Structure 1
């Protein structure tokens, strides 16, 4: 019985670690992601969406809402697409058929952007900020 009582806390601790680990990994991935609404999937709309997503992800990762107002952001926004690791769309009118050609090309889509910490963290450093990864409040 004493042998079991020594192993029980270890087993409970290991199961807690395994249960919490995926949540922490998902949270970091969510932290370095952003989304916005764009009209259609054209390049010009995508680029403007990338700019808005870059602003949002920098504020999200750093917690500093003053970053988008910095003068250095103008140059960073011009190359916002280079920081995006991956992106995808979701048609906001999914399931609603097109009845004519009007509006076919500019249906609203959610643009989801995923970033890598290795790309965003140096951008934050160039703006005099850093990632805020610990001690974040749960919302």
Structure 2
């Protein structure tokens, strides 16, 4: 018997109760956006970030995690920037001065990409998919941990978590 086997019936019961109540995927603006981490604001880094963001937004909008593995994605990634409606950066080291010879190319940035449904939906169709804009099932995660000899389930209300 595992350490937390007594929690299994409770966890299964709670996850079944919560999973039957679908939730909205968020606003269209949230759904058609993605972000990644890039090193600096240079074009080369931006283009690689656009590729990662395209993968992420296609999975987010469709709910199909198999899309990035499709062979057609290679050609789509090559023109990933053409699908981006707008983008902006946030310096992850904001407020920390550059060190000696460190240039801004060394600083990590969050790259935020926003897409328009009119640009992304045809891409999904070309991949044999479509947007999933209806309610989605709620995801419930139960995480048990141990700290030394103490074992407990993590809880948002618990100071230990």
Measured against the shorter chain, the TM-score band is 0.7 to 0.9
**Structure richer in helix, relative to its length:** 1
Closer, same or farther in 2 for the Cα pair 1:103/1:134, shift >3 Å? same
Closer, same or farther in 2 for the Cα pair 1:52/1:6, shift >3 Å? closer
Residue of structure 2 in register with 1:122 after alignment: 122
SS of the residue corresponding to residue 3 of structure 1 reads coil
**What TM-score, normalized by structure 1, do the two folds share?**
0.79
Say whether residues 1:6 and 2:13 are aligned partners: no
Spell out structure 1 runs of 4+ moving beyond 6 A. 1-26
Equivalent-residue separation in structure 1 for 2:134 and 2:9 (angstroms): 27
What is the CA distance between 1:12 and its match in structure 2? Answer: 37
Equivalent-residue separation in structure 1 for 2:59 and 2:135 (angstroms): 16
Structure 1 runs not aligned, ≥5 long:
none
**RMSD, aligned α-carbons:** 9.2
Structure 2 runs not aligned, ≥5 long:
139-161
Equivalent-residue separation in structure 2 for 1:15 and 1:46 (angstroms): 40
User: What's the CA shift string for 1:10-37, capped at 9, x where partnerless?
Assistant: 9999999999999989611100000000
SS of the residue corresponding to residue 64 of structure 2 reads coil
Residue of structure 1 in register with 2:74 after alignment: 74
What is the CA distance between 1:104 and its match in structure 2? Answer: 3.3
Closer, same or farther in 2 for the Cα pair 1:130/1:103, shift >3 Å? same
User: What's the CA shift string for 1:23-59, capped at 9, x where partnerless?
Assistant: 9896111000000000000000000000000000000
* Larger CA deviation: 44-53 vs 20-29: 20-29
Equivalent-residue separation in structure 1 for 2:69 and 2:55 (angstroms): 10
Equivalent-residue separation in structure 1 for 2:108 and 2:53 (angstroms): 16
Is contact 2:38–2:110 with CA below 8 Å preserved after alignment? yes
**What TM-score, normalized by structure 2, do the two folds share?**
0.69
Is contact 2:23–2:137 with CA below 8 Å preserved after alignment? no
SS of the residue corresponding to residue 76 of structure 2 reads helix
Paired positions, count:
138
What is the CA distance between 1:99 and its match in structure 2? Answer: 2.9
